[in-house]
Amino acid sequence: MASSVPSGPVLSTPMVSLPGVATGPGTPGGAQFRRLRRRTLVILAIVPIVLVGGGFAAYTALKPPTAESTVEEYFDELSDGDTAAALDLVSDASEYSPESHPLLVPKALSEADDRPSDLRILGTDIFSGAGRDVTSVRVSYKVRGDTVTQTILAAKGTDGEPAYVLHEPFLLLGVTSLAGRQLTVNGIAAELSTEDSTYVFPGAYTATAQGTPLIAGATTSAVVQSGGIEERAVAVADFGTPTMAPGAQAAVQTMVKEQITKCAQSTSGQPTGCPFSTYLFGSVESVTWTITAYPTVTVELSPYPSDDAQVAISSDAYDGVAHYVAKVTDPFGGGTETETGDVRFGVQGSATVEGGQITVSIS
């Protein structure tokens, strides 16, 4: 009696168990499904095998990771808000600590609207560098609806690293017109000046310059500028022209007047740190000052506000008047005489904030 042979191919796909990945059905579009899809060695291929008797079987093979798949995994992690997993794919990941890079932390992309989406691989180039081949991966993605293009470098990992690692796959964040104010980015305190920049993950960033008693606060969205093949993509938070805080101008003018009044208490002909003085010939016994007219003072933000001089103080009209009465002894034995006079003066100086309070310096 002849044995029967199946008339068609018989396919058998055995279950594959991946380390660290739960088996069983996942919900398409869910976090578990996405993570299963993007694991480094999870791209499957079906390879047929001819069986004795003419039938077929199949086994599931794992496709090795590539530079492109590593970039895709990096952006998948970011789109899920898992910045720690994304950072694990970066070369020398341990060097990017919260202390040295305060914006490479989960809070930076805690809001879903701030995360990148719609990644596209535009092309790749391979070149040699630092003793190993490096793949240049050109990508585009969306940030709050705007398209950003960026070039990311990938190379095979060394001992203890993933199969492929990414070299500084970040944006470079900078700020302009900070004017000495404290900065927060996506709710994270960042110590930056207009001369500094720091790494951030691809995404959207809202920067806030905290107001001071002198300068009003401001909030702006960083504008991402795409990078070319040899250029890094950057995000610039431009606060525009700073404005004085409500009541700051009147407060500075009052403090200038108080300092002038204090200067008038001096008994010297040349009071230290004061905007008026007079030269008296002979031995001066005493000088009495009286301010008969205070100068018209202009208070405005410095052209380039900083921690040291946020507000400029000036009085170009020189319409201040200080009257003096001085007792002077004639050096040639002429006795003591009383001299009087008026000194016209203006004011130059600056104001800043120290310990949350306005301080004024004039001369």
pLDDT at 130: 63
Cβ burial, residue 275 (10 Å; 0-12/13-18/19+): buried
Q: SS3 sequence, 45-112?
A: EEEEEECCCCCEEEEEEEECCCHHHHHHHHHHHHHCCCHHHHHCCECCHHHCCCCCCCCCCHHHHCCH
**Tokens 């022209």 — which residue?**
241
Q: What is the pLDDT of residues 47-100, one digit of tens each?
A: 454 545 555 444 445 688 999 999 999 999 999 999 999 999 999 999 999 999
Q: What is the pLDDT of residues 268-306, one digit of tens each?
A: 999 999 999 999 988 888 999 999 999 999 999 877 776
- β-pairing, 171-176 vs 234-238, is parallel
The span from the CA of 50 to the CA of 53, in Å, is: 9
With contact defined as beta carbons under 8 Å apart, do 252 and 278 qualify? no
Q: Edge-to-edge strand order for the sheet containing 197-200?
A: 197-200, 171-176, 234-238, 223-225
The span from the CA of 175 to the CA of 181, in Å, is: 11
Q: How many helices (H) and strands (E) does the chain have?
A: 4, 21
Cα–Cα separations (whole angstroms), residue 6 to 11, 51, 59, 174, 301:
12, 11, 19, 69, 89
Instruction: Tell me the β-bridge partners of 314.
Output: 298, 348
pLDDT at 76: 98
* Whole-structure pTM value: 0.74
Q: How many CB atoms sit inside 10 A of residue 324's CB?
A: 19
pLDDT at 228: 59
CA-nearest of 350, 230, 337, 345 to 302 is 350
Binning pLDDT at 50, 70 and 90, where does residue 308 land?
low
The span from the CA of 295 to the CA of 260, in Å, is: 10
In the chain, domain spans: 8-64, 67-238, 248-362
